[in-house]
Amino acid sequence: MANKYVSFISDEHFLSCIEQLHNSYVKAKEKISKKRFYSNKIDSFKLTFDSKFNRMNEERIIETEILRQIDKSINNSIGTFHEQILGGVKGYEVGNNSGYDIKALDNTLFADIKNKHNTMNSSAAEALFQKLARFADDNKKANCYWVQILAKGSFHDHWRGDINGKEYSHSRVYKISGDRFYSLVTNSDSAFFDLYKALPIAIDDFLSKVKKKKSKTSNSALSEIKEDTESSKRSVLDQITFENYSYYLGFDKL
């Protein structure tokens, strides 16, 4: 029986990867308490501009700010999603904290997967090159890859260059864009595009089977702030501003 979603992994594996990412979204939202929300000072001026210029009510503005704060952890989780998808292709496996993200079962390929091309500074890039070079040296038939899922071009190149003042190159260390790496692993040039096209269908199928669970801690930052406004009689935005800047001249009058 043909797969419903993509040809290179089973439907069951595809849905399990979506489920794990969904769980990451839920957990990230649940962790945003008022204390964590305030851990980085809130820009009350920006929130005011956003609410007026974008014609959004205060609660929607706060929800948007909460989503912005969890964006980094979600980006990391999306990188993990691609690791899990590719680790489900026949002949490959996920690294599970082994120093690589996925590898071929016959040790002919090792890869470190980054969701975006610009997530590393020069020191991190140097450490990554050195790690991939070690895998290549220890496995004489292995090609080793720095995978950029969302890259600025479509490429499959030797990774050569000057990093932190040192010149690096290795005959079997490469940098590769997400589309090319999916093609390499699956032997299908359209694999990355096929994943993109199948994703909305698979997500809808997954969500249709998920029981909606209400969590007491979900979006607790907003609920905590709203509880405070009941006694203070401030607007949501004024409450946030007061709790962040009451020590500023005049702000204690809010």
pLDDT tens profile 107-144? 999 999 999 877 788 899 999 999 999 999 999 999 99
Cα 131–Cα 136–Cα 142 angle in degrees, nearest 5: 130
Range of the domain at 141: 91-187
Looking at per-residue confidence, does 161 or 132 come out higher? 132
- Residue 225 scores a pLDDT above 80: yes
Are 31 and 80 part of one and the same domain? yes
- Residue 42 scores a pLDDT above 70: yes
What per-residue confidence (pLDDT) applies to 76? 82
Query: How far apart, in whole angstroms, are the C-alpha atoms of residue 100 and residue 117?
Result: 17
Rg of the Cα atoms in the chain: 23
Are 193 and 133 part of one and the same domain? no
Are 83 and 123 part of one and the same domain? no
Q: Which of 5-9, 35-39, 41-45, 149-153 has the lowest mean pLDDT?
A: 35-39
Query: How far apart, in whole angstroms, are the C-alpha atoms of residue 113 and residue 133?
Result: 15
With cut-offs at 50, 70 and 90, classify the pLDDT of residue 213: low
With cut-offs at 50, 70 and 90, classify the pLDDT of residue 217: very low
What tokens were used for 8? 């290179």
Are 136 and 16 part of one and the same domain? no
Are 77 and 163 part of one and the same domain? no
- Residue 54 scores a pLDDT above 60: yes
Q: What are phi and psi of 235, to 5 degrees?
A: -70, 165
Looking at per-residue confidence, does 158 or 98 come out higher? 158
Q: Which of 187, 214, 243 is the last residue of a domain?
A: 187
Looking at per-residue confidence, does 79 or 40 come out higher? 79
Region for 161 from its dihedrals, namely left if φ exceeds 0, alpha if ψ lies in -120 to 50, beta otherwise: left
What per-residue confidence (pLDDT) applies to 216? 44
Is residue 103 within 8 Å of residue 110, measured between CB atoms? yes
With cut-offs at 50, 70 and 90, classify the pLDDT of residue 194: very high
What's the number of domains the chain is made of?
2
Are 47 and 129 part of one and the same domain? no
